[in-house]
Amino acid sequence: METRASYILVGSFVLALLAGLFVFTVWVAKVQLEETRQPYYIYFTGSVTGLQEGSPVRYRGIPVGTVTDIRLDPNDVSRVRVTIEVQEGTPIKTDSIASLEVQGITGGAYIQISGGTELSELLRTAHDSGTPVIPSRPSSLTVFVDAAPQLLNRALDLTNRMADLLTPQNQAAIADILQSTRTLTAELAKASNGLESTMQQAGRTLQGFEAVGPQLNHTMAQAQRTLATVEGSTKTLTGDLHELTTSLKQTSSQLNAMVGENRDAVRDFTGSGLYELTLLITQLRDLSGQLSRVVTRIENDPSNFLFGGTRQGVEIRGR
């Protein structure tokens, strides 16, 4: 009786578990059937290796849908058309960008949707006539894989150039450069000893400057007093010049006034008086010449000039 009761208990538990699993499956299927999904097209020009139907679609890292179809573009065989379905209400905007990313180095591929601003329109409303298309861009891994051959070629080119550079002649030249560097280092080490003595001399020189410091301060004080004196003298001289300029201005004004008052007299003098003055000067010059001759006669024979000539003798008349 106990063994039969155990079988009944185990069977009842298994039946209850199967019934619960069935109910859960029906609920999940109902949810999936009731969930509305929005299809989108994405066109890739590169390889989509690793991407397959059922691969996840993520919006800023959050799973929002799955890949439902992968095929070549019927209108352009150089592109791959990927059809995705995302949950209703996913804010995919007109400026959203889709890219193919890889989960780790050896993981599967998935679609990553990024971008989109708050002010942009929803991509679905902007394409009511058909299935909207999300613009795509190459992934970082795709760019790296595409650039790998070029990087390899450049690395090979660099290796060849290094091989050409490390010829026996260049190796000998590099060895000479290293030897010269060692020699220069040794010379610098020797010069460092002399540098120490030079620094000591510089220290003693600075101490001498410290001793001369008070004298320099006294000299600077005298120079400041001298500058103050010169500044005072300059101010005094500036005041005198200002007074002299004022006096000259006043004198010039007085001369202008005097010339204005005697303008008619000056005009008469220059008209007739100047001619008469010229005649007077000419007569005075003639008079001066005559006076000079008279004075000369007086100096030579004053008696003859005063009393007349006495050397004429006696006039003898005839009988």
Beta bridge partners of 102: 109
Tokens of 66: 């799955």
Based on the domain organization, do 86 and 116 belong to the same domain? yes
Percentage of the chain beyond pLDDT 90 is 8
The residue out of 141, 161, 187 marking a domain boundary is 141
Burial class of residue 185 (count of CB atoms within 10 Å of its CB; 0-12, 13-18, 19+): exposed
Specify if 57 maps to a domain.
Answer: yes
Based on the domain organization, do 187 and 226 belong to the same domain? no
Instruction: Please give the pLDDT value at position 314.
Output: 46
Identify the top-confidence range among 53-67, 133-147, 176-190: 53-67
Specify if 114 maps to a domain.
Answer: yes
| Mean of pLDDT values over 39-43 | 91
Burial class of residue 65 (count of CB atoms within 10 Å of its CB; 0-12, 13-18, 19+): buried
| Mean of pLDDT values over 76-98 | 89
Instruction: Please give the pLDDT value at position 279.
Output: 76
Domains of the chain: total: 3
Any idea what DSSP says for residue 271? Answer: I
Instruction: Please give the pLDDT value at position 319.
Output: 41
Tokens of 142: 């795709």
Based on the domain organization, do 60 and 128 belong to the same domain? yes
Based on the domain organization, do 65 and 136 belong to the same domain? yes
- Could you give the CA distance from residue 290 to residue 299 in angstroms, rounded to a whole number? 14
- Could you give the CA distance from residue 188 to residue 185 in angstroms, rounded to a whole number? 5
Instruction: Please give the pLDDT value at position 221.
Output: 77
Specify if 101 maps to a domain.
Answer: yes
Tokens of 172: 């000998």
Specify if 287 maps to a domain.
Answer: no
- Could you give the CA distance from residue 86 to residue 91 in angstroms, rounded to a whole number? 10
Residue 65, C-beta contacts closer than 8 angstroms, at least 6 positions apart: 37, 56, 57, 84, 85, 86, 87, 90
The helix or strand, by DSSP H or E, that contains position 87, with its residue range, turns out to be strand 76-87
State which residues form the domain around 68. Answer: 38-141
Specify if 7 maps to a domain.
Answer: no
Higher per-residue pLDDT: 188 or 97: 97
Specify if 274 maps to a domain.
Answer: no
pLDDT for 297-318, tens place per residue? 776 766 665 655 555 554 554 5
- Could you give the CA distance from residue 215 to residue 287 in angstroms, rounded to a whole number? 81
pTM of the entire predicted model: 0.40
